[in-house]
Amino acid sequence: MTEQNDGRFPDEADVLVRYPAPGMTHETPRDTWPWMDGVVENQCGPDEWLVTVYAREVASLEDGTPVPDETPGDDTFFPQCFRSAEELKLAPEEG
């Protein structure tokens, strides 16, 4: 059940999220994972957010293979992850 968002990372906010780059695994220390572009889907708990990672280097096709550069967005699957506040940053505003 989704709880009310406390506003630290609002739903649909652009964020930077720690996520393992290709070649890294869950065993790679998280503090070495790069910051990648993402969007908050919702807050799931007191200090937990569901985030979609919109970085092409970690995207895949439906069969799980890496996405070729020319692949249209509709055919691209982006990973989702659960992250706490220390693994998220609001993305800088463009402009």
1 pLDDT more than 80: no
Q: What is the pLDDT of residue 13?
A: 97
Residue-wise pLDDT for 17-67, tens only, equals 999 999 998 899 999 999 999 999 999 999 999 999 999 999 999 999 999
The predicted model gives 80-93 an average pLDDT of: 95
> What is the model's pTM?
0.89
Assign 3-class secondary structure to the chain: CCCCCCCCCCCCCEEEEECCCCCCCCCCCHHHCCEEEEEEEEEEECCEEEEEECCHHHCECCCCCECCCCCCHHHCECCEEEECHHHEEECCCCC
Structure tokens at 79: 């990973």
* Domain layout of the chain by residue ranges: 14-55+82-90
